[in-house]
């Protein structure tokens, strides 16, 4: 039986391998589509044997499904961390939403290929992983919903807000605006894009921009 340190080391190595496979898969699929991307290509791009792919994932579809879970999990964690830090610093719920917008932009700037894939898959209805996609989407949206509900509860936001739809709209705004930024306005800085979305947030959610 392996010692705990050996087990930990093996787990770390496997996670590093899976990370390489995620990165290879997301890059290739973004370049040429899911159907056109082969397991051989993923293995070659990751610098591993084909058997290593199947050791970690039962199939290409399972790899992609786990890629969605992994990527959206990172996004949700980034949003949650931004909200929690704002709360620790004594900020308002609008401040928390603003911090989450920036965290989302930072994530998308770091993982543009994943974001392109994620947004594209949201529009498809014939994928085997559709149910998984809906679950992981809600994982990210739920973080925003929590902040909105807390803001309604403390009177910062109107109780007429549709929390679920507003949260989805905010996440969608960041995703689409960031992709537009990277595709058509790459000369703009992250700070510039964040400032534009922040002004929109202030005017549409808190109403302060209308005073």
Tokens representing residue 60 in the block: 């290409």
Per-residue pLDDT at 14: 85
Model confidence at 168, pLDDT cuts 50, 70, 90, reads very high
Model confidence at 209, pLDDT cuts 50, 70, 90, reads very low
Does 4 score more than 70 pLDDT? no
Burial 13-38 (b: 16+ CB within 10 A, else e): eeeebbebbbbbbbbbbbeeebeebe
Does 124 score more than 60 pLDDT? yes
The set of residues, in sequence order, having a beta carbon less than 8 Å from that of 25 and lying 6+ positions away, is 37, 42, 60, 63, 64, 67
Per-residue pLDDT at 7: 45
pLDDT tens readout for residues 70-112: 999 999 999 999 999 999 999 999 999 999 999 999 999 999 8
Determine what percent of the chain is predicted with pLDDT higher than 90: 64
The set of residues, in sequence order, having a beta carbon less than 8 Å from that of 141 and lying 6+ positions away, is 164, 167, 168, 171
Does 6 score more than 80 pLDDT? no
pTM, two decimals, is: 0.84
Residue 147 contacts residue 83 (beta carbons within 8 Å): yes
pLDDT tens readout for residues 175-206: 999 989 999 999 999 999 999 999 998 875 45
pLDDT tens readout for residues 38-63: 999 999 999 999 999 999 999 998 99
- The count of other CB atoms within 10 Å of the CB of residue 8 is 11
Residue 98 contacts residue 198 (beta carbons within 8 Å): yes
The set of residues, in sequence order, having a beta carbon less than 8 Å from that of 155 and lying 6+ positions away, is none
156 DSSP assignment: S
Determine what percent of the chain is predicted with pLDDT higher than 70: 91
C-alpha–C-alpha distance, residues 200 and 34, integer Å = 35
């Amino acid at each position: 039986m392996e010692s705990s340190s050996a087990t930990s080391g093996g787990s770390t190595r496997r996670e590093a391998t899976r990370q390489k496979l995620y990165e290879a898969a997301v890059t290739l699929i973004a370049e040429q589509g899911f159907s056109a991307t082969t397991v051989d290509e993923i293995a070659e791009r990751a610098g591993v044997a084909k058997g290593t792919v199947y050791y970690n994932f039962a199939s290409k579809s399972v790899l992609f499904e786990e890629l969605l879970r992994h990527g959206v999990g990172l996004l949700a964690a980034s949003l949650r961390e931004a909200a929690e830090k704002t709360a620790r610093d004594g900020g308002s719920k609008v401040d928390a939403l603003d911090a989450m917008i920036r965290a989302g932009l930072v994530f998308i700037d770091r993982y543009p290929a994943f974001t392109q894939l994620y947004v594209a898959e949201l529009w498809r209805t014939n994928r085997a992983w559709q149910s998984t996609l809906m679950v992981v989407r809600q994982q990210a949206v739920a973080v925003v919903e929590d902040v909105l509900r807390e803001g309604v509860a403390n009177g910062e936001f109107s109780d007429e807000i549709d929390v679920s739809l507003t949260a989805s709209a905010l996440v969608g705004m960041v995703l689409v605006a960031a992709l537009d930024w990277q595709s058509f306005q790459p000369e703009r800085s992250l700070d510039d894009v964040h400032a534009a979305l922040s002004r929109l947030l202030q005017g549409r959610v808190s109403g302060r921009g209308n005073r």
